[in-house]
Amino acid sequence: MAEKQVAVSASDKPIHVTDAEFDKVVKEKPYVIVDFWAEWCAPCRAIAPIVEELAKKYAGKVTFVKLNTDENPEVPQRYMVMGIPTLLFFKDGKLVDQVVGAMPRAPFEERVKKHMS
């Protein structure tokens, strides 16, 4: 069975990853924001359009990644994600920030920009 390839090119849309693909993406990209979410989570659905917009706006500078916690329990356990949505910010493979819960667009975008330099 052929292994599914992860698209790790500059993307203007969030990339959906699995537990197996997570480390590769976080290590290969200089700045990654991971959105931990699930289908049933209303606050996750509320921030999804913001994540989509920011992925488009910062394409080439920030890689937005979505990880479904119901289908991929390993990575959320490793990072002690207790509630969703949780957003983890990785710079050069290291965790530099996190946001737990839904956040309005403006303060979320400020957090995104804070780690860009």
List pLDDT tens digits, range 16-67. Answer: 999 999 999 999 999 999 999 999 999 999 999 999 999 999 999 999 999 9
Model pTM?
0.90
Query: Other CB atoms closer than 10 Å to residue 83's CB: what's the count?
Result: 11
List pLDDT tens digits, range 86-117. Answer: 999 999 999 999 999 999 999 999 999 999 87
Helices of type H across the chain: 19-28, 42-57, 74-78, 105-114
Query: Other CB atoms closer than 10 Å to residue 48's CB: what's the count?
Result: 17
Please choose, from the candidates 77, 80, 12, 82, the residue with its C-alpha nearest in 3D space to the C-alpha of residue 51.
Answer: 12
Q: What pLDDT is stored for residue 4 in this prediction?
A: 46
The full set of domains in the chain, from first to last, is 20-114 (3.40.30.10)
Q: What pLDDT is stored for residue 10 in this prediction?
A: 55
Catalytic residues: 41, 44
Q: What pLDDT is stored for residue 89 in this prediction?
A: 98
